[in-house]
Amino acid sequence: MSMSNYSIVIATAERPDPLSLVLGCLAAQSRKPDTVVVIDASNNLQSQAVCNKFKEGFNNFIYEKALERSSATQRNQGATHVTSPYIVFCDDDIEFKSDLFEKLIDTFEQNSDMLALSAREEGQFHRPPKSLFMKAYYRFQSGYQHDTWAAKFFGPAINTCPCYLDEDPELIASEWLPAGCLVIRTEIFKDILFHRFSGYAHMEDALLTHKISRQGPICFHKNASFIHHNATSTVKENVYRFEKLKLQNQKYIAKHELGLNGFEFLKKFFVLKCLITVFILKQRLSYPIKRLCGVWTA
């Protein structure tokens, strides 16, 4: 095959070592991308140096400074360079095997109706609620009864992963997909783009892919996986701002995408905040007061 039919877009900011790992994994792919685009929001030249080290290993490598520091806008910026049939968004802190994109792109080519496909993040799966309290919570937030509430998107922008049970098919239909390793038909993506959230682009992937799901199937690939190393970022270091921005984005999605408004929104959003509060205190997260202030001022 002369063309790989996909291009990679990576948004990065001051993560040269994780970026190096990602580019190394891409260079080792059995089916390499047509183009790799890196949009860099770093305040130094370290990530650029990493890109210079790897660019000769690809047919076409584009490095560009970000016009704005935001993963959503950086990805949109990178997408302007993509002409391949499939566009892939990769986080800058993931690791994967050499056959990952051969699996993903082959799956797309065998399923002509599929619009978006996410690789499976190792260690991330939904645990079906067992207690009466959690079953009641999911029932309250979603507004419907379900056995697991897996791979769903409901209420005040609550999104769940698949359970990845043995009996699940290889392709698991979902109402949303994460952007850690996400493949989308390019023409579909360019009609929608990532929403420009201010400050922190939390859940921009869920918003985008939920919109896409209205047009056709989107799925998780059970047998194509990656490791997410969750590298630190400057946004996450300010825990007050981080918690507040996350909930502000969820509020926007709940109202503008999921149609949750008025008193129905207020009561569900309040219950969500209560559950987050319990989680912060129970898990003894760092700077709990700052986190709680962020939650309750959102």
Per-residue pLDDT tens for 177-206?
Answer: 999 999 999 999 999 999 998 767 889 999
- Cβ atoms of 172 and 219 within 8 Å: the answer is yes
Of the residues 234, 259, 275, the one at which a domain ends: 234
Residue (of 255, 268, 248) closest to 142 by Cα position: 268
Domain limits for position 273: 128-158+238-298
The tokens 């109402």 sit on which residue?
175
Does 99 share its domain with 230? yes
Does 203 share its domain with 245? no
Does 197 share its domain with 82? yes
d(CA 46, CA 44): 6
Does 40 share its domain with 146? no
pLDDT bin (cut points 50, 70, 90) of residue 285 is: confident
Of the residues 234, 256, 275, the one at which a domain ends: 234
φ, ψ (nearest 5 deg) of residue 212: -65, -35
Q: Please report the pLDDT score of residue 149 as a whole number.
A: 97
Residues 6 or more apart whose Cβ sits within 8 Å of residue 148: 126, 128, 163
DSSP 57: G
Residue (of 84, 80, 79, 78) closest to 101 by Cα position: 84
Q: Please report the pLDDT score of residue 233 as a whole number.
A: 74
Q: Please report the pLDDT score of residue 162 as a whole number.
A: 98
| 140 domain residue, yes or no | yes
Does 46 share its domain with 109? yes
pLDDT bin (cut points 50, 70, 90) of residue 3 is: low
Over range 100-112, report the average pLDDT: 96
Does 134 share its domain with 105? no
> What are residue 40's DSSP bridge partners?
12, 65
- Cβ atoms of 105 and 85 within 8 Å: the answer is no
| 153 domain residue, yes or no | yes
Q: How many domains does the chain have?
A: 2
Q: Please report the pLDDT score of residue 231 as a whole number.
A: 85
pLDDT bin (cut points 50, 70, 90) of residue 1 is: very low
Structural tokens at position 136:
């009641």
pLDDT bin (cut points 50, 70, 90) of residue 140 is: very high
- Cβ atoms of 287 and 156 within 8 Å: the answer is no
- Tens digit of each residue's pLDDT (9 = 90 or more) over 31-87: 999 999 999 999 999 999 999 999 999 999 999 999 999 999 999 999 999 999 999
| 1 domain residue, yes or no | no
Does 195 share its domain with 65? yes
Does 206 share its domain with 228? yes
Structural tokens at position 178:
């994460």
Chain centroid to Cα 14, Å, comes to 19
235 has a pLDDT exceeding 70: no
The identity of residue 22, as a single letter, is V
Residue (of 173, 178, 17, 8) closest to 100 by Cα position: 8
- Tens digit of each residue's pLDDT (9 = 90 or more) over 239-270: 998 899 999 999 999 999 999 999 999 999 99
Query: Any idea what the CATH number is for the domain that residue 22 is in?
Result: 3.90.550.10
d(CA 74, CA 86): 18
Over range 219-246, report the average pLDDT: 90
Does 154 share its domain with 165? no
Q: Residue 120: helix, strand or coil by DSSP?
A: strand
Q: What stretches of 194-261 show up as alpha helix (H) in DSSP?
A: 204-213, 234-237, 239-256
Does 31 share its domain with 143? no
- The continuous run of DSSP H or E covering 224 comes out as strand 218-228
- The continuous run of DSSP H or E covering 27 comes out as helix 16-27
Of the residues 206, 234, 262, the one at which a domain ends: 234
Q: What percent of the chain has pLDDT over 90?
A: 90
Q: Please report the pLDDT score of residue 199 as a whole number.
A: 65
2 has a pLDDT exceeding 60: no
Please state whether beta strands 86-90 and 218-228 pair in parallel, antiparallel, or not at all (unpaired).
Answer: unpaired
Does 180 share its domain with 152? no
| 28 domain residue, yes or no | yes
Q: CA–CA distance from 164 to each of 37, 120, 131, 149, 171 (Å)?
A: 31, 9, 20, 13, 10
Residues 6 or more apart whose Cβ sits within 8 Å of residue 120: 162, 164, 220, 221, 222, 223, 224, 225, 226
Does 198 share its domain with 278? no
Q: What percent of the chain has pLDDT over 70?
A: 98
